[in-house]
Amino acid sequence: MPAAAPLPPKAPPPAGAPRPPDPVDPPDLDLAALAREFDLSSSMARQPLGDYLRELWRRRDFVTAMATGRKAAQYKDTVLGRLWQVLSPILNAIVYYFIFGVLLQTSRGVENFPAFLIVGVFTFTYTQRVVTGGTKAIVNNRNLIRAIHFPRAVLPLAVIVQEVQQQVVSIGILLVIVLLTGEPITWLWLGIIPVLALQTVFNAGLCLIVARFTAASRDFAQLVPFVLQTWRYLSGVMFSIPVFTADLAPWVERVLYLNPLTDYIEMMRHCLLEGYSAPWELWVLGAIWALVSLVVGFVVFYRAEESYSRG
């Protein structure tokens, strides 16, 4: 095929002809004013508090479905599956029994130390699982956050629902273990329900806080295991606070009881272990901690709503 002939050069305009006007840039648009005129808003904008809460309630089925799906997928690659949610605290309790009960003799002065220890381990593990799940609630769901507009509190609340489902099973196993250690069934066992409710509310606030700060900085997630480990040793999981502080100044015992997890552990022991008593003030403290944790956690999380799509 012959090559196409080159185009002739463009002829210059004749002398005296008017010069065409220079192209004019379009005027800058005031996008903010345009958005206000047509009542537009950012899909990532934080909703007013009332609308936010109503939207959360409307998404309750989605929260439950997400929690159930995560629970089913959590142990799908293991042979024992969901049994690990019970085996893990039991194995921890066995290790703690030999280290603290046998070697360090923290069992002295504690009646039925195996039951005492297992109640403490199961109760603390509930909060530990929630905090660990909270560190991943936002970070592991960035794509979902960027693709769909919904209240971001749905994600940590799904962690709470998932762990409540697991804790109900764990409580059933715990009751069987406590019976096997020789503890009788008493009417105080009904107190498990309010204790579990208070701890769940406390955990919800804690999960919101952890999810907020982990979303802002991955470094925060690296600190969480060390904080949890220290918290466990200060919560009376492996030792009796009254026995441990018997020879110390009275303020030491009072300070240890200001720990919210100590309160929930002691309240659970009071319900399950015959003859084990906990100060009534712990119930008041447990309720206060639950309310403060939920309010503070929700406010902290809600104020950063617009930032969760970044990162």
Tens-place pLDDT, residues 251-261: 988 899 999 99
pLDDT band at 30 (very low <50, low <70, confident <90, very high): low
Region of poorest pLDDT, from 9-18, 78-87, 210-219, 292-301: 9-18
If you write DSSP's letter for every residue of 22-45 in order, what string do you get?
PPPPPPPP-HHHHHHHTT---TTS
pLDDT at 70: 76
**Lowest-confidence range among 97-106, 107-116, 222-231?**
97-106
In this prediction the pTM is 0.81
Q: Is the pLDDT of residue 210 over 90?
A: yes
Q: Which of 43-47, 182-186, 227-231 has the lowest mean pLDDT?
A: 43-47
pLDDT reading at 105 higher than 80: no
Q: Residue 43: its pLDDT value, please?
A: 52
In a domain, residue 270? The reply is yes
In a domain, residue 17? The reply is no
Residue of higher predicted confidence among 30 and 51: 51
Does 10 map to a domain? Answer: no
Q: Pick the range with the lowest mean pLDDT from 121-125, 182-186, 274-278.
A: 274-278
55, burial (CB in 10 Å: exposed 0-12, middle 13-18, buried 19+):
middle
Q: pLDDT tier at 34 (50, 70, 90 boundaries)? A: low
- Kindly tell me if the per-residue pLDDT of 25 is higher than 60: no
The CA distance from 210 to 55, in Å, is: 22
Q: Residue 256, Cβ neighbours under 10 Å: how many?
A: 18
Predicted local distance difference test score (pLDDT) of residue 277:
85
- Let me know: does 303 contact 227? Beta carbons within 8 Å: no
Domain span including residue 245: 46-307
CA distance 196 to 171: 10
Whether residue 28 is contained in a domain is answered as no
Contact 237, 117 (CB under 8 A): yes
Length of the chain: 311
The answer to whether 207 and 265 are in contact (CB under 8 A) is: no
Domain count, the chain: 1
For 2, which DSSP code? P
Give the model's pLDDT for residue 206.
96
Residue 5, domain member (yes or no): no
Name the band, by pLDDT with cuts 50, 70 and 90, for residue 309: confident
Domain membership of residue 297 (yes or no) is yes
Q: What is the pLDDT of residues 65-83, one digit of tens each?
A: 888 887 766 666 655 556 7
Mean pLDDT of 45-71: 85
Q: What pLDDT score was predicted for residue 149? A: 83
Report which listed range, 14-28, 183-197, 297-311, is most confident.
183-197
Q: Where are the alpha helices (DSSP H) in 26-153?
A: 31-37, 49-58, 60-74, 84-96, 113-137, 142-147
Banded model confidence at residue 13, pLDDT cuts 50, 70, 90? low
**Are the beta carbons of 115 and 272 closer than 8 angstroms?**
yes
pLDDT at 120: 92
How far is Cα 197 from Cα 141, in angstroms, rounded to an integer?
27
Domain assignment present for residue 31? The answer is no
Q: DSSP assignment, residue 97? A: I
Nearest to 211 by CA among 128, 259, 140: 140
The residues, any chain, with a CB within 8 Å of residue 81's CB and separated by 6 or more, are 75
Per-residue pLDDT of 261-299, as tens digits, reads 999 999 999 999 988 888 888 999 999 999 999 999 999
Which residue type sits at 67?
A: A
Is residue 26 assigned to a domain?
A: no
Q: What is the pLDDT of residue 225?
A: 92
